[in-house]
Homo-oligomer: A and B are copies of this chain.
Amino acid sequence: MTEEKIKVGVLGASGYTGADLVRLLVAHPRAEITLMTGERHAGKPMGDVFPHLAGYDLPALVTVDEANWDDCDVVICGLPHGTTQEIIAGLPERLKVVDMSADFRLRDAATYAEWYGHEHRAPELQKSAVYGLTEHYRDAIKDARVVACPGCYPTAALILLIPLVGTGLIQADDIVIDAKSGATGAGRSPKEATLFCEVAEGIHPYGVASHRHAPEIEQELSVAAGRDLLVNFTPHLMPMNRGELLTTYVRLADGKTADDLRKALVERYDDEPFVRVVPEGVAPATRHVRGSNHVLLGVYADRLPGRAILISTLDNLVKGSSGQAVQNMNLMFGLPETMGLEQAPLFP
- A204 CB within 8 Å of chain B: yes
Within 8 A of B (CB), among A208-249: 208-210, 214, 230-234, 236, 238-243, 245, 247, 249
Shortest beta-carbon distance from A158 to chain B in Å:
17
Interface size on A (CB < 8 Å)? 89
For residue A285, CB closer than 8 A to chain B, the reply is: yes
Question: Whole-angstrom distance from the CB of A249 to the nearest CB of chain B?
Answer: 5
Known: A282-B51, A342-B27. A243 touches B178 (CB 8 A): no
Q: Enumerate A11-63 residues with CB–CB distance to B below 8 Å.
A: 16, 19, 22-23, 26-27, 50-56
| A291 and B291 contact, Cβ closer than 8 Å, known pairs A205-B247, A249-B249 | yes
Q: Which B residues are CB-close (under 8 A) to A307?
A: 232
Query: Chain B: which residue is nearest A173 at the CB level?
Result: B304
In the complex, the count of this chain's copies comes to 4
Majority secondary structure of chain A interface residues (helix, strand, loop or mixed)? loop
Give Cα A241 to B287, complex, Å. Answer: 11
Cα(A174)–Cα(B303), bound, Å: 12
Does A239 lie within 8 Å of B346, measured CB to CB?
no
CB-CB under 8 A from A183, the residues of chain B are 195-197, 200
Other 17 A-B pairs with CB < 8 A, given A52-B347, A234-B249, A239-B239: A23-B344, A52-B287, A52-B292, A56-B344, A182-B201, A183-B200, A188-B192, A195-B196, A196-B199, A196-B239, A197-B241, A200-B200, A202-B286, A231-B303, A231-B304, A232-B249, A232-B309
